[in-house]
Amino acid sequence: MGVRFIAVNDGVDSEDQSSNDFTPFRNIINEWYAKDTSKKIRAVFRNKGMSGQRLSTNAPYGYTRAEDGHLLIDEETAPVVELIFQLCVEGNGTGKIARMLKDRSIPTPGTIEFQRTGRTRHYHPDDPCRWDAKTIAHILEQDAYLGRTTNFKTSMLSYKSKKSIINPPDKWAVFENTHKAIIDKDTWDIVQKARTQRRRPTKMGEMGIFSGWFTAPIAVQGFTPVVLLHGHAARNVTLAPITVTGINAPHTISGP
């Protein structure tokens, strides 16, 4: 099946060979123009980011964005952020925190966005208080709650692709005290340490009771080393009261 291509603005007609002589050069020029424009835009964003201005156009949950781009405390949602961090400090996993927020009928960020802007991309009208564990995890990882602006966490591969990649921390630009903090540094450190020590959660979003305590195998005074996998003792092993050495755990563990 023959296809005829006509570009009126460029004066191109696939059936007129004479009009196509300049097409390869035009393609090269267009490619160069797109690349040059992308380079200039990157330079503008780079200068803006290095000056301490927040590059993201979206305010994190718990904040609103002022006309000049600065973050302001959102009196409605900031207490929820504090609650989420406090629940994590108390030892609750992201899945359990999500269920606790739903039990308290706290609207999700998507519901708040719908109520304020009418956008429905993250809104579930049948369950407006259905929090997701991933949403909780994302909130717990946001260092903006320290009053900090961190730019260049991600970048684009090229002007031809919209795919973003995660940059290593040494490529970030971090600026302290750019806005009012919601979470204090001590709470932040406790939460980050607790999350790094946690292993893979169960399907219910919970962690094993020994999560972050043991490595396998462990040395036990007077007994053959016991392998603990995901918080459970190896099968067919009966433990008498024993003392564990060389690990960060309570001094005495009583067997069944």
Closest CA to 142 of 82, 100, 97: 82
Residue 207 confidence class, pLDDT cut points 50, 70, 90: low
Total residue count of the chain as it appears in this document: 256
Q: Which amino acid is at 253?
A: I
* Alpha carbons 74 and 220: distance in angstroms, whole number: 52
At residue 220, the 3 state secondary structure works out as strand
Cis peptide before 217 (omega within 30 of 0): yes
Q: Give the range among 18-27, 63-72, 130-139 with minimum mean pLDDT.
A: 18-27
**In this structure, what DSSP letter does residue 216 have?**
S
At residue 242, the 3 state secondary structure works out as strand
For residue 192, the model assigns a pLDDT of 94
For residue 30, the model assigns a pLDDT of 79
- 156 strand-pairing partners: 164
For residue 234, the model assigns a pLDDT of 43
Residue 109 confidence class, pLDDT cut points 50, 70, 90: very high
Q: Answer with the residue of higher pLDDT: 178 or 20.
A: 178
Residue 214 pLDDT more than 70? no
Residue 19 pLDDT more than 60? no
Residue 18 pLDDT more than 70? no
For residue 211, the model assigns a pLDDT of 53
Residue 193 confidence class, pLDDT cut points 50, 70, 90: very high
Please give the model's pTM, rounded to 2 decimal places: 0.65
For residue 205, the model assigns a pLDDT of 53
Q: Answer with the residue of higher pLDDT: 10 or 97.
A: 97
Long-range contacts of 209-218 (CB under 8 A, 24+ apart): 213/247, 213/248, 213/249, 214/247, 214/249, 215/247, 218/244, 218/246, 218/247
* Alpha carbons 235 and 223: distance in angstroms, whole number: 16
Residue 93 pLDDT more than 70? yes
